[in-house]
Amino acid sequence: MSNARKKSRKTNRMRKIVLGILTVLFITLGCISWDALAGSKSDSTRGNTTMLKHIFKDRKIGHQNSVGKKDPSKTPLETGKVVYLTFDDGPNPIASEKILSLLDKYNAKATFFMLKPHIEQNLDIVKKMVDRGHSVGSHGVTHQVSQIYKSPESFASEMNDTLAVINKATNSKSHLIRAPYGSKPYITAPFKAVIKRDHFNLWDWTVDSEDWKLANGAFVNNTIQQVNNLVDTRPLVVLMHEKPTTAAHLEKLLEYFQKNGYEMKALHDSMEPIQF
């Protein structure tokens, strides 16, 4: 074999070796880049999911006194086997009487956040609530987002008007209020300013019974499940409504609380409010 042919074959082998090495390097770099990209996307997805979970949790479960700084004169709510029952949108001439009777039967106290037009039509029921040791507060006048949240002053006006009717009818002095549909996202900084100015005690909740939706009585188990998840970790402030369907199934819930050693107490102005 000539020297020229030997040299040519040697050159071809070197080219193949170099090409193989470059191919391996290319594949390796590609894999590293893909892993880094996939990891980045995965981290981003996990971050977004976590953020959404926190947003939902903050809306679902209230925290104590997020409107301004904590007031040292306020007493924190009890945790453990103490439940604070609250009812919105009343009074209702059919539901309220039955609810009051059931609360008496199970030695339970509750808090009623009521609407001005319903109060004016049922003043005797409101008086009965206070006479039996329950707490009463304002839920506004219109219950319409476009009206009550039109401005901070419209919010303050609805709450003050309703409290004035309550306090005159019951010869009491309540500053308890609950924002329609809850404080989040409606109660922004300007609204917090008028709440502080007018000495309102704004209450949300930690347990949403969803009785307005689960009208067939399923709200009872829904409430019990949430209570069991939160007991000993957060105050148990239960949201319900003065509706005939709620009154029809309420005894099952009260019976559960009584049999399992829960005290059922009312909210007061001296307590530190729960807010979203």
- Residues 248, 258 contacting (CB under 8 angstroms): no
Residues 246/97/118/204 CA torsion (nearest 10 deg) = -50
- Enter the pTM of the model: 0.78
Mark whether 88 is an active-site residue. Answer: yes
* Backbone region of residue 237 per phi and psi (left: phi > 0; alpha: psi in -120 to 50; beta: other values): beta
Q: Which pLDDT does position 131 carry in this prediction?
A: 98
The DSSP secondary structure of the chain, one letter per residue, reads --HHHHHHHHHHHHHHHHHHHHHHHHHHHHHHHHHHHHHHHHHHHHHHHHHHHHHHHHHHS-EE--SSS--TTSBPPP-SSEEEEEEEEE--TTHHHHHHHHHHHTT--EEEEE-HHHHHH-HHHHHHHHHTT-EEEE--SS--HHHHTS-HHHHHHHHHHHHHHHHHHHT----EE--TT-STTT--HHHHHHHHHTT-EE---SEE--TTT-TTTTHHHHHHHHHHHHTTTS-EEEEEE--HHHHHHHHHHHHHHHHTT-EE----TTBPPEE-
Please give the Cα distance from 141 to 49 (Å, whole number). Answer: 38
Instruction: Look at the alpha carbons of 189, 162, 171, 241 in this order and tell me if their dihedral is positive or negative.
Output: negative
- Residues 161, 141 contacting (CB under 8 angstroms): yes
Please give the Cα distance from 268 to 89 (Å, whole number). Answer: 19
Q: Which of 118, 134, 139, 241 is catalytic?
A: 241
Q: Which of 54, 58, 88, 175 is catalytic?
A: 88
Instruction: For strands 63-64 and 274-275, give the pairing.
Output: antiparallel
- Residues 205, 235 contacting (CB under 8 angstroms): no
Which of 215, 273, 245, 271 is closest to 74 using CA atoms? 271
Q: Which pLDDT does position 16 carry in this prediction?
A: 57
Please give the Cα distance from 20 to 28 (Å, whole number). Answer: 12
98-140 pLDDT, tens digit each: 999 999 999 999 999 999 999 999 999 999 999 999 999 999 9
22-35 pLDDT, tens digit each: 554 555 444 444 34
Which of 85, 104, 138, 113 is closest to 265 using CA atoms? 85
Q: Which pLDDT does position 221 carry in this prediction?
A: 98
Can you list the residues of the chain whose pLDDT is less than 50?
A: 2-7, 24, 28-59, 66, 68
Phi, psi of 110 (to 5 degrees): -145, 175
Q: Which pLDDT does position 31 carry in this prediction?
A: 46
